[in-house]
Chains A and B, each alone.
Chain A
Amino acid sequence: MSLQFLLDGLISGAMIGLGAIGVTLTYSILRFSNFAHGDLMAWGAYAALVAVGALGALVGTMPLGPLSFGLPLIAATLFAMVFTAGLALLLDWLLFARLRARGQAIIVVMASFGASMALRNLLEFLFSSSPAYYSRALQIAQPVGLGIRITPDQVALLVMTVLLVTGMHLFLTRSQRGREMRAYSQNPALARVTGIDVSRVVRATWIIGAALAAAAGVMVGTLVQIRPLMGLDLLLPMFAAAILGGIGSVPGAVVAGLIIGLSEAAAVMFIGAEWRAGVAFVILMAVLLVRPTGLFGVTER
């Protein structure tokens, strides 16, 4: 038996976990399930594709050592994170803020379905539905023991995930803005009388969620491929991770993302690839039945 599935699961789990951070923050702070979150991921991937294309025309791909990518893709990722954050703020201003003011969460959720379809179709219109790639360079996977092989890109992106998640955790626990976001998610009315400006919290939530979605989108694009439907495919696993981890918990979302990635990979290995998509569903239902607050969630008092 090859243990390769463990590494594959870890990597897809890292991508799910990064995306789930945005889902869990949006849910706990803005109080709605944002079904357009996966599409922010896809928009991030395409924004980086455009930027890397433009940069590549000027300076080439400049690969770093054994990696398939170099500084242009890193710069393009930063651009994509800023661009996607801007897109999320625009969507909030155009759509979600107006509907939130009416106070019915279900309307905001339905609107996010609409936004999701609009964003996805716009991508198909602009870029067609055929897959695109940041680089055509072939990566040689190196054996690391126990029958597991890993490519340099995979190593780099796992490191990037660890850095992003650690940075995010420090931001939420050590910075004033991060504490304000946690305070607001735990008790909005008390946050207001404490002097916390709701509009700043809302902005920070969109910016962080969208920027991490863009980073996850570039990861998927680098390791797999870029398609308009890439976000939709990851939507269910991301929601399953957010709920399994416990709504509002960033470490929970990441750990749960890894659990789901590993479970999917195990399902492919032991049951059959056609069952992969069902894994997140099964986990989601099991969590909702057995422990609705998730792994790191706390019962509302």
Chain B
Amino acid sequence: MSLLTVSQLEAGYEPGLSIVKGASIHAGRGEIVVILGPNGAGKSSLIKAIAGLVPVTGGSVMLAGEDITAVPAHMKIRKGLAFVPQTENVFPLMSVEENLAVAAGVLRAPAAHIEEMFALFPDLARQRRLAAGSLSGGQRQMLACARALIVKPGVLMLDEPSAGLSPKFVEQVFARLVEIRASGVTIVLVEQNARAALAIGDRAYVLVEGREAHEGPAKTLWDDPLIAELYLGHRKEGAR
């Protein structure tokens, strides 16, 4: 059964200027769903709209059978939908520990969850007193994931977690995502790094001009001529 179902979603910052134009995706429990697409296809806007950060003008978002389309952003995490933005995804002047504490405190999650996250991300445990702004890109990404996971969401959405990371860190972050999925969390992953994302994904969508143009199992999508056309020769950069 599908845990997250997005139907005919329309979203954009300006009325009449939709960036997401009728996109429909779904993700089952414990699945890793990858969203690919050329720059400007509206991938980031799609998951930001699902998270409640881009105004939705049409369509619906259902989570575990409940319509959460109009639920404000700060309430979505309470419904079990967590989001990790691509950039500016930590509170830079707060320590690593405070970043986690503020997230745990909002939902009154037990303090033991913070230690659980430190066990999951040992790198962060060593830097717990350090200001988050002084972490490296990869460590920040880990902290952003830990911040989102601390309330044990059912769905974790990530916007280009590999952006700006060295290949070594991309490997680490993606290996961590596989572990997180193994604990039963559904992952929706927007990526430019198609090869790495498809390697860990179960299913994938290709988004073109604000709606899904192609859907299929992640393993076969890499060999698809459409993907080749869209990705071969394209350099990775932060699309919004």
Contact = CB atoms under 8 A, between A and B. Distances in A.
Contacts of A197: 74
A193 B91 contact: no
A179 B101 contact: yes
B53 A195 contact: no
B91 A195 contact: no
Contacts of A180: 102, 105-106
B74 A186 contact: no
Contacts of B92: 186-187, 298, 301
Given A182-B94, A182-B102, A195-B78, 19 more contacts: A179-B98, A180-B102, A183-B94, A183-B102, A186-B92, A187-B91, A190-B89, A191-B74, A192-B72, A193-B53, A193-B76, A194-B77, A194-B103, A194-B106, A195-B74, A195-B151, A196-B74, A196-B102, A301-B133
A176 interface: yes
A246 to B, nearest CB: 10
Contacts of A283: none
Interface string B159-199: 00000000000000000000000000000000000000000
Nearest to B101: A179
B116 interface: no
B74 A179 contact: no
A284 to B, nearest CB: 23
B101 A189 contact: no
B58 interface: no
B51 interface: yes
A223 interface: no
Central interface residue in A179, A189, A193, A195, by most chain B CB within 10 Å: A193
Central interface residue in B51, B52, B106, by most chain A CB within 10 Å: B106
B90 to A, nearest CB: 8
Interface in A173-189: 176, 179-180, 182-183, 186-187, 189
Contacts of A193: 51-53, 73-74, 76-77, 82-83, 85
Given A193-B53, A194-B77, A195-B103, A186 B93 contact: yes
Contacts of B89: 190
Interface string B62-96: 00000000001111111000110100111111100
Contacts of B101: 179
A198 B106 CA distance: 12
A298 B83 CA distance: 26
A180 B101 CA distance: 10
B107 interface: yes
Interface string A124-136: 0000000000000
28 contacts: A176-B102, A179-B94, A179-B102, A179-B105, A180-B102, A180-B105, A182-B91, A186-B92, A186-B94, A187-B92, A189-B85, A190-B90, A191-B91, A192-B52, A192-B53, A192-B73, A193-B51, A193-B52, A193-B53, A193-B73, A194-B74, A194-B106, A195-B106, A195-B151, A196-B106, A298-B133, A301-B92, A301-B133
Contacts of B107: 195
Given A176-B102, A179-B102, A192 B94 contact: no
Interface of B: 51-53, 72-78, 82-83, 85, 88-94, 98, 101-103, 105-107, 133, 147, 151
Interface residues of A, number: 19
A194 B147 contact: yes
B52 to A, nearest CB: 7
A71 B101 CA distance: 39
3 nearest A-B pairs in the assembled complex, by CB-CB distance? A176-B105, A195-B106, A195-B77
Contacts of B74: 191-198
Interface in A66-81: none
B105 A182 contact: no
Contact of B91 (A176, A183, A192): A183
Given A195-B74, A195-B151, A298-B133, A190 B91 contact: yes
Nearest to A173: B98
A198 B75 CA distance: 11
A59 B89 CA distance: 57
A261 B102 CA distance: 35
A191 B92 CA distance: 12
Contacts of B106: 176, 180, 194-196
Nearest to B93: A186
A298 B106 CA distance: 26
Central interface residue in A179, A191, A195, by most chain B CB within 10 Å: A195
Interface string A86-109: 000000000000000000000000
Nearest to A176: B105
A189 to B, nearest CB: 6
B35 to A, nearest CB: 18
A172 to B, nearest CB: 11
A189 B72 CA distance: 12
